[in-house]
């Protein structure tokens, strides 16, 4: 994966497979400290201590389709190559939290990628799930909360094409307003 949006999608899909009902994604760009942090939290089934100890092993995965799990090891390596760090915490029946930091200005930091596409893809495939995306840059913040959208649209499905177009455009404009990096 060469973009952060793809890591977000990968980790979120892992959360869906872990039966999460809600995923909370927070990105914070802090030019003052030259740091980009990302946190993805879910309320899925979580992992045992033994599973948690193996998540950075590229030859370990709980997926049945393929026998390698490169997503988290690649994310950890991407963060560390910019002078950042990677953390993961999980408890059975409580969910998982992935935290990662990058040097914001580092030449090797992966670009954000297409955040609007990643988020709308998650909504399309998981309309019943709550997705909360929060992106901060300095004193500005963009927030997307699918529960709030569902309240506004009432009987219209959140994965209806017109709703998705609106959500995607809202993300694009919201990130532009806060001067989020690409």
Phi-psi region of 72 (alpha: psi -120 to 50; beta: other; left: phi over 0): alpha
- Give the per-residue pLDDT at 70: 67
Tell me which of 71 and 66 has the higher pLDDT.
Answer: 71
- DSSP character at residue 110: P
Task: Give the pLDDT score at 109.
Answer: 94
The terminus-to-terminus CA distance of the chain in angstroms comes to: 16
What's the alpha-carbon Rg for the chain, to the nearest Å? Answer: 16
3-state secondary structure of 80: helix
Q: Where are the chain's structural domains? A: 4-177
For residue 32, CA distances in Å to 5, 105, 106, 110, 165 come to 23, 11, 14, 19, 34
Q: Which fold has domain 4-177?
A: Heat Shock Protein 90 (3.30.565)
> Would you place residue 71 in the very low, low, confident or very high pLDDT band (cuts 50, 70, 90)?
confident
Residue 58: what pLDDT?
66
With a cut of 80, say whether residue 67 has pLDDT above it.
no
Q: What is the pLDDT of residues 75-126, one digit of tens each?
A: 999 999 999 999 999 999 999 999 999 999 999 999 999 999 999 999 999 9
Q: What is the pLDDT of residue 152?
A: 94
A 10 A CB-CB count for 102 gives 25
Higher-confidence position of 181 and 53: 53
The mean pLDDT value for 31-59 works out to 90
DSSP at 21: S
Please provide residue 78's backbone torsions phi and psi, each rounded to the nearest 5 degrees: -60, -40
Global pTM reads 0.92
């Amino acid at each position: 994966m060469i973009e952060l949006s793809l890591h977000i999608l990968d980790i979120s899909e892992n959360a869906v497979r872990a039966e999460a009902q809600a995923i909370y994604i927070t990105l914070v760009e802090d030019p003052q400290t030259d740091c980009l942090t990302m946190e993805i939290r879910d309320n899925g089934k979580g992992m045992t201590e033994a599973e948690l100890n193996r998540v950075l092993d590229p030859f370990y995965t709980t997926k049945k389709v393929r026998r390698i799990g490169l997503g988290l090891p690649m994310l950890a390596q991407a963060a560390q190559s910019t002078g950042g760090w990677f953390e993961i915490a999980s408890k059975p029946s409580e969910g998982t939290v992935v935290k990662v930091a990058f040097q914001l200005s580092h030449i090797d930091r992966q670009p954000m990628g297409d955040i609007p596409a990643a988020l709308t893809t998650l909504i399309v495939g998981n309309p019943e799930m709550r997705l909360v995306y929060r992106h901060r840059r300095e004193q500005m913040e963009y927030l997307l909360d699918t529960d709030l959208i569902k309240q506004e649209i009432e009987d219209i499905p959140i994965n209806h094409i017109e709703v998705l177009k609106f959500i995607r455009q809202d993300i694009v404009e919201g990130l532009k307003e806060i001067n989020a990096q690409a």
